[in-house]
């Protein structure tokens, strides 16, 4: 797949003016908006729920919204975030007792189906659910907080997942989330990554347009 999307993660945005932050980062060249949803149970942090997504849609944001559910249990929130306006929904295998059922629920809600793999999670599970997936999200940090450093062992996983996708002959997007910045973006892209989730490297920059243009240059 030739798709190459920058997905600013609002976890690093200024929540006192979230609507403006999202509009500004999209106008600066961001492709899709990434929602990191955490419940202080599956991961040690608490972020936001479907009401925030609904308010962003009501504000007038029409771009693709990529919802990453780091919550357990997960099924009720799949439905709630779909109803609120999600386009992509990614869950983790550890967050549900019946992964096939939860993945099918995402599909039945009309959203693209994603599976997130944590740094210490085996890739073996992909063998059993590959036919259900639209997106594989590799976490390159341990989920929970923004601003962490990229875990180098992710490169080995990227190589393995890229081969799995290519050998499957399916249109599955490869997404990476965590610690992505100008210094490592080009190397990450070399593994055929399609979606780059970037939080603090974008939202902590003084000029969104400049940082996104610099990142786009690395991808070309």
What's the pLDDT score for residue 1? 44
What's the pLDDT score for residue 143? 82
- 161 to each of 123, 124, 157, 171, how far by Cα in Å? 8, 10, 6, 13
Residue 146 has pLDDT above 90, yes or no: no
Residue range 72-97: mean pLDDT, rounded: 97
Residue 102 has pLDDT above 70, yes or no: yes
| CA dihedral for 194, 197, 138, 157, sign (positive or negative) | positive
Report the Cα 167 to chain-centroid distance in Å. 23
Residue 174 has pLDDT above 80, yes or no: yes
Which amino acids are annotated catalytic? 36, 177
Report the distance separating Cα 29 and Cα 70, nearest Å: 27
Summary mean pLDDT of the chain: 95
User: What is the SS3 assignment for 1-51?
Assistant: CCCCEEEEEHHHCCHHHHHHHHHHHHHCCCCCEEEEEEECCCCCCECCCHH
Identify the residue with better confidence: 2 or 214. Answer: 214
What's the pLDDT score for residue 104? 98
Residue 14 has pLDDT above 50, yes or no: yes
Percent of the chain with pLDDT over 90: 94
Residue 64 has pLDDT above 50, yes or no: yes
- 70 to each of 4, 81, 126, 203, 219, how far by Cα in Å? 24, 13, 18, 21, 28
Torsion of CA 78, 83, 88, 92, to 10 degrees: -10
Residue ranges at the known binding site for substrate: 9, 68, 144-147, 177-179, 199-200
Residue 147 has pLDDT above 90, yes or no: no
Which domains, and CATH codes, for the chain? 5-219 (3.20.20.70)
**Residue pair 66/34 in contact by the 8 Å Cβ criterion:** yes
Residue 175 has pLDDT above 70, yes or no: yes
Residue 190 has pLDDT above 80, yes or no: yes
* Per-residue model confidence as pLDDT tens digits over 33-48: 999 999 999 998 999 9
Q: What is the pTM of this model?
A: 0.96
């Amino acid at each position: 797949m030739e798709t190459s999307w920058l997905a600013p993660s609002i976890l690093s945005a200024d929540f006192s003016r979230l609507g403006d932050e999202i509009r500004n980062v999209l106008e600066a060249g961001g492709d899709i908006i990434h929602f990191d949803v955490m419940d202080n149970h599956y991961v040690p942090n608490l972020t936001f729920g479907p009401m925030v997504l609904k308010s962003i849609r009501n504000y007038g944001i029409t771009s693709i919204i990529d919802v990453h559910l780091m919550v357990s249990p997960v099924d009720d929130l799949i439905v709630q975030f779909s109803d609120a306006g999600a386009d992509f929904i990614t869950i983790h295998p550890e967050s549900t007792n019946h992964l096939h059922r939860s993945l099918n629920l995402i599909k039945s809600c009309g959203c693209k189906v994603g599976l997130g793999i944590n740094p210490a999670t085996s890739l073996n599970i992909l063998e059993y659910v590959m036919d259900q997936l639209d997106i594989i999200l590799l976490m390159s940090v341990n989920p929970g907080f923004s601003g962490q450093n990229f875990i180098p062992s992710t490169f080995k996983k990227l190589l393995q997942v890229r081969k799995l996708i290519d050998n499957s002959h399916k249109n599955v997007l490869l997404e990476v989330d965590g610690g992505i910045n100008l210094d490592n973006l080009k190397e990450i892209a070399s593994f055929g990554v399609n979606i780059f989730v970037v939080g603090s490297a974008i939202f902590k920059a003084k000029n969104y347009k400049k940082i996104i243009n610099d990142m786009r240059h690395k991808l070309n």
